[in-house]
Amino acid sequence: MVTVKEQYESYPYPERDPKDEKTRLITGSPSHPLEMDHWLWRGNRDWSRPLRVLVAGGGTGDGLIQLATLLTAAKKPYEITYLDLSTASRAVAEARAEVRGLSGIAFHTASLLDAAEYGTFDYIDCCGVLHHLPEPEAGFAALRAALAPGGGLGFMVYAPYGRSGVYPLQEAFGALFEGLPPQQRLARAQRLVADLPEGHPFGANRNLGDHHASDAGFYDLLLHGQDRSYAVPELLETLERTGWQLAGFTTPALYDLAQITEVPEGMDAATQMATAEKLRGTIRMHTAYAVPAEAQNTRAAPSDRKLVPHLRGVQRAALAKAVAQGRPLPVKMGGVQTTLTLPKGTAPLLAGIDGHRSLSEIAQAARIDPITFGTGWAQVHKALEPWGLLLYSSLLR
């Protein structure tokens, strides 16, 4: 079997060209500071305090570069420790940071299982790594040991239903290509995939695209020698056994059974999420935040008028105009398409969101009395926040 380290030395993933940092910034979840604040610190983190970050299994650096770039732009202090087993991946991440002129990053070739040896951290990023460990629970536990009080974890692990067709091919290729080097595995697998019969589960799965993006993407998806997925119950059980609790999925609406069908009386929250995942059938990865098992609720709540709202993925002027005209907002996430509708009277509230003003300041600027504002804002929050389109953070204050 090609080891995980050998794979990523041959095909650093995701494939990135450091020169592209001059023209674009790749953003996403987890590890966007607005999202982190929303889920981990009730939207009220004191960003004047340096944020001590561990990027555990940082690969070619997407999460690292996003977080360091956005904190630098916001003029917020940070210290980042990057760990990865692959020297080739680390070289790409270092080159990307150098092109951007980012500082405050310490790079190490090391395993995330040794995370605690590098200290404790306010925030830990671990995206797309834990499911590639021989014993993923050991990884979750190692990261918990490296977490500072009041801190949290942003992570992504694979989900089973949206990856239908992947695992039979991984198993078949593993049996066929035993002993072959990565380059020969790739060439032979690409020929076989091109000739898959019509109706093969993998070919019919429209949720997947990495195999079209690059050789590294093809290899990571279909030739990985160590790969598992987590259905919601398995993920929740793993978190519990390793000292964590789920703070929230980055797009809670995908796991909200009430958005799909009537919820049976007495069904608990975990069963509701597990049932929603099965009915959706398109979720190929779980992207989420976690906090220590003993932590209290850390999700930002709209009842705090000192909170600063941010729109993510939508332009406030365009959104406010559409709402004022009574037009619905189309949303497409996680393979799901829907439309959101807001009352016309909430348009001035949406227009007031600029990432700097608090809810109280937005109400004052719109000259709306507290009761009317509270009713309108509750509607905005209920429609947008579950889709990850509305976040609360003091980052830009």
Residue 115 sits in the same domain as residue 262 = yes
Residue 168 forms part of a structural domain? no
CA torsion sign for 29, 31, 33, 37 is positive
Residue 301 forms part of a structural domain? no
303 pLDDT more than 90: no
Whole-structure pTM value: 0.97
**179-230: pLDDT as tens digits:** 999 999 999 999 999 999 999 999 999 999 999 999 999 999 999 999 999 9
Residue 76 sits in the same domain as residue 140 = yes
Cα within 13 Å of Cα(181), Cβ side = 4
Residue 132 sits in the same domain as residue 254 = yes
Residue 246 sits in the same domain as residue 365 = no
Q: According to the model, what pLDDT value does residue 141 have?
A: 98
pLDDT range class, residue 301, cuts 50, 70, 90: confident
Q: What are 16's strand-pairing partners?
A: none
**53-73: pLDDT as tens digits:** 999 999 999 999 999 999 999
Dig out the tokens for 236 from the structure.
Answer: 């929740």
Q: According to the model, what pLDDT value does residue 333 have?
A: 86
Dig out the tokens for 116 from the structure.
Answer: 């605690």
DSSP helix/strand/coil, 80: strand
Domain that holds residue 246: 4-161+227-292
Q: Which CATH number goes with the domain that contains 264?
A: 3.40.50.150
DSSP helix/strand/coil, 84: strand
Q: According to the model, what pLDDT value does residue 244 have?
A: 98
What is the arithmetic mean of pLDDT over 279-304? 94
- From the list 35, 245, 255, 7, the residue with the least C-alpha distance to 140 is 245
CA atoms of 85 and 94, how far apart (whole Å) = 14
CA atoms of 36 and 72, how far apart (whole Å) = 16
Residue 322 sits in the same domain as residue 270 = no
Residue 124 sits in the same domain as residue 260 = yes
Task: Give the count of domains, the chain.
Answer: 2
Picking from 242, 264, 292, the residue at the C-terminal end of a domain is 292
What is the arithmetic mean of pLDDT over 170-185? 96
Q: According to the model, what pLDDT value does residue 214 have?
A: 96
1 pLDDT more than 90: no
What is the arithmetic mean of pLDDT over 136-164? 98
Dig out the tokens for 303 from the structure.
Answer: 């009842």
**316-363: pLDDT as tens digits:** 999 999 999 999 999 998 888 999 999 999 999 999 999 999 999 999
Terminus-to-terminus CA distance in the chain, angstroms? 51
Q: What is the mean pLDDT of the chain?
A: 96
Residue 280 sits in the same domain as residue 322 = no
